[in-house]
Chain A
Amino acid sequence: MGLALAKLRRNGVMAAGLLASLAILCGTGMAYADNVLKIGVLGVMSGPDAAWGLVSKYSAEATAAMYNEQGGVDIGGQKYKIEIDAVDDQEDPKLAVTGAQRLILQDGVKYLIGPNVDSTIVSVQPIAEKYNVMMFSYSFTRSLFSPPHHNTVLGIIPGYQTGPVVFKYLHDKQDLKSVSFIVLNSAEALKQRDESVAAATKAGLQVISSQDTYEAGSTDFFPVVSKVVGGNPGLIVLSGVSPADTPKLIKTARQLGYKGLLEAETAQDINIITQGAGDAAEGFISLGGASTPEIQSDYMTSFIDHYKKIAGEWNDEAGTKAYALEMILKTIQKAGPAAITDTELFKKTIPDFSAPNPFLKGNETLHYVGEDYFQQKRQIGLPMVINTIADGAFKTLFIGTVQ
């Protein structure tokens, strides 16, 4: 009996000790959690389009690492460690919903970077709106960023914005007269093509062909490019193409004797293009971020270094995707600490938000744009950096703006 009592007493002491330890641990955990800003990244990180989601993830991680090295992001005088919580939606709307539910309901994320395509954004948008979560997404459909959708911000510059600017530039500077389009056969790319065709027509260009599409995963582009090259347009626009397909399309066009201009409406990576297309890529025009040496700031150089440490190598696509987390953090800083959990405050800050652009040399500013396209400011005001390839490297052709 005595032994049993002693044992009970000893167990009781141990249990009390354990509870006390748990309490301390919980207390510590809660104190730590108070200083954590969790950012969700939801996107396609596997399969043929893995680059889209992975570049978003690596970019967010690079930005987070840069802030965390300084002790975190300063919001209202207090430092918050940034934690990136990433989920692969495999470009599947069902998995995107599951991923969003996990990030929002389980992990308590209030700011989400992604998803990458229309179908996944459409599936996640109702959840984000129900729980008042802000999404910085990468798609092209205007309605996704227009009222009544107030929680979704466009993180890139779509073709219908670059198109008019590039067409006008080439028309004025290089006497461009005609254009043809090659499009990935996906709903999103086709929509982008339609908008670009309208922009080309408005710019006074003759649209020679716009119906030529190819399937995802094509290994041979000769059949589709042969037909387009046959029309001998002054410019071939690669509309909505995946970075994986761009070098093959360029090389095929040149092998078929095409001498005109080639342009992609989406951000591309120089190594992918030069590896796949070699010298055929010279003169190719595409949208870029702030990654060309002549315009990048020291901060951008540091971002590139951090990105390389995380991903193993730089990807020029990150030149545009570098902005999403930076904009989220800077907007929260302006809105105040309450905006960490209350995104209404974040939304109220958007219209008048302005901050120095840390990625570019000079006195460029960051702000939200998009009123002309979405009837509200729901687009990151990225500089429209138009690059061309010269001597195997991207050179900035000109920098435009989105109004």
Chain B
Amino acid sequence: MEQIVFNGLVLSATYAVIALGITLIFSVMNILNFAHGQMFMVGGFICYYIYGQFHLPFALALVAATVGVGIIGVIFEVFFFRRVRKTATREENSMLLAVGTALLLENIALFAFGEKQRGVPDVLDGVLRIGDAFVPEDRLLVLGLSAALIAALLLFVQYTRTGRAMRALAQDREATLLMGVDVERISAIGFGIGAGLAGLAGALLVTLSGVNAGIGIAITTKAFIMIMIGGAGVVAGSLLGAVVLGFAEAIGYAVLPGSVTYLVIFLGLVVFLIVRPQGIMGKPWG
């Protein structure tokens, strides 16, 4: 039982970091970032090279992954999404562009980093026993860092001027513009932070699961499941979605035959969306 709880906690925390980034981008810009998993992958590779290959401190790798992928996000927003948002009359254009950026990142990564799975040395290599549970220290580190990061982001969004502007933008773009907020700057910052979170999640998880150029699709799929459960565009909802998915996986794998776990999760998701299509928390303005 303790093992299931610990597994659920680690899964929930790491999923939450992934879901927060995609939620931030969706809430600020109303764009489903299909490239989120690929940004996660790029963050993983940055960590792999800085920490795994150049043997620089892990903390530096985390910062580099966050900043590096954040900059990619800002570039995407300024040069691609901003222009499409201005000229396109349909929302699907932004979505298609997002799919395009996903393919772009994946193919560049395949070309630059190769097809192989990459891993890094353990940051911490001990294993603790808590009750009946095996608790590796590296997973405990990921759990702690994820929790701290989530708390920091919530504080940032809640209490800083930029965070308030982002929330205002999420609620009503026109009204925010009329209030004198530099909407384009906030959009770029929002996209940058969302992308940076994806990069940071990739860098954190490379210590547990490694990284390869094709990992992005699976990550994006899970991110979408979480925001569908919690409610697209709602930060608290994405956290809830992450906890639901994390514990559903942990409990499912423990009590069900493996192949049934995701079948049950998807069936549950379909039934849930029929009953509550906007997710548990929905859009605050929806």
Contacts and interface: CB of A to CB of B under 8 A. Distances in A.
A is bound by B: yes
Interface string A208-227: 00011111111111111011
Contacts of A217: 215, 217-219, 221-222
Chain B contact-residue range equals 35 or more
B116 A313 contact: yes
Interface stretch (B27-35, B145-153, B206-214): B206-214
A313 B114 CA distance: 9
Contacts of A272: 116-119
Contacts of A183: 258
Interface string A54-92: 110000000000000000000000000000000000000
B262 to A, nearest CB: 5
Interface string B132-165: 0010100100000000000000000000000000
Contact of A247 (B119, B121, B262): B119
Chain B residues touching A, majority SS: helix
A343 B170 CA distance: 64
Interface string A199-241: 0000000000001111111111111101100000000000000
Interface in A346-402: none
Contacts of A49: 214
Interface residues of A, number: 47
B116 A269 contact: yes
A20 to B, nearest CB: 42
Interface in A267-305: 269, 271-272, 275-278
Contact of B254 (A51, A54, A226, A312): A226
Given A46-B110, A219-B219, A248-B210, A51 B116 contact: yes
A46 B210 contact: no
A61 to B, nearest CB: 14
Contacts of A51: 115-117, 212
A216 B254 contact: no
A257 interface: yes
Contacts of B212: 48, 50-51, 244
A174 interface: no
A220 B127 contact: no
Interface in B189-239: 205, 208-210, 212-215, 217-219, 221-222
Interface string B1-43: 0011011001100100000000000000000000000000000
A215 B125 CA distance: 26
Most-contacted residue by chain A among B122, B208, B222 (CB, 10 A):
B208
A212 B258 contact: yes
B116 A47 contact: no
Interface string B95-123: 00000000000110010001111111110
Nearest to A46: B110
Most-contacted residue by chain A among B7, B121, B134, B214 (CB, 10 A):
B214
Nearest to B251: A223
Contacts of B74: none
Interface in A303-345: 311-313, 315
Contacts of B214: 46-50
A132 interface: no
A220 B7 contact: yes
Contact of A271 (B3, B106, B116, B258): B116
B253 interface: yes
A101 interface: no
Contacts of B215: 48, 217, 219, 244
Contacts of B120: 275
A363 B10 CA distance: 54
B117 A243 contact: yes
A389 to B, nearest CB: 14
B257 interface: yes
A219 B110 contact: no
B88 to A, nearest CB: 27
B259 interface: yes
A55 B14 CA distance: 32
B117 A255 contact: no
A216 B219 CA distance: 10
B250 interface: yes
Nearest to A217: B218
Contacts of A248: 208-210
Contact of A212 (B116, B119, B257): B257
A56 to B, nearest CB: 11
A211 B257 contact: yes
A54 B254 CA distance: 36
A391 to B, nearest CB: 17
Contacts of B4: 223, 226
A214 B258 contact: yes
A256 interface: yes
5 contacts: A46-B106, A46-B213, A224-B253, A245-B117, A313-B114
Interface of A: 45-51, 54-55, 183, 185, 190, 211-224, 226-227, 243-245, 247-248, 255-257, 269, 271-272, 275-278, 311-313, 315
Per CB-CB distance, the 10 closest pairs between chain A and chain B, nearest first, are A217-B218, A276-B119, A213-B258, A223-B253, A48-B214, A244-B117, A211-B257, A275-B119, A47-B214, A219-B209
